[in-house]
């Protein structure tokens, strides 16, 4: 069953959950997906410190201008994605699904 909840903090965040997958979207910062987890493991990287400072560009995450397009992309790539850590990306790890 799919659910949508909200969290209030520095930015209003929508949490979309479906089975063992969870996506966090922050509309205030341009509709960016700040977290995507599958089976409790992060799928991609987000520099949280840069994200907190609106004067800096965001590194990581996934901008979704059209949520239906983002949903389409995520449902078709989830089986190809292998969860990675930010440290593996910093050490030259390959992109998920490659």
Q: How confident is the model at residue 7 (pLDDT cuts 50, 70, 90)?
A: very high
Predicted TM-score (pTM) of the model is: 0.62
Least confident of 9-18, 24-33, 38-47, 60-69: 60-69
**What are the tokens at 81?**
């994605």
CA distance 22 to 42: 10
Per-residue pLDDT at 57: 84
Domain boundaries, the chain: 2-90
Q: Mean pLDDT of all residues in the chain?
A: 74
Q: What are the respective helix, strand and coil percentages of the chain, to the nearest 5?
A: 25, 30, 45
């Amino acid at each position: 069953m799919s659910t949508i909840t909200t969290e209030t903090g520095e930015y209003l965040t929508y949490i979309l959950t479906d089975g063992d997958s969870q996506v966090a979207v922050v509309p205030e910062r341009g509709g960016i997906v700040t977290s995507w987890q599958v089976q409790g493991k992060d799928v991609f990287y987000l520099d949280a410190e840069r994200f907190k400072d609106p004067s800096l560009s965001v590194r990581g995450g996934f901008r979704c201008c059209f949520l239906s397009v983002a949903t389409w992309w995520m449902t078709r790539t989830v089986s190809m994605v292998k969860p990675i850590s930010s440290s593996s990306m910093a050490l030259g790890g390959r992109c998920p699904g490659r």
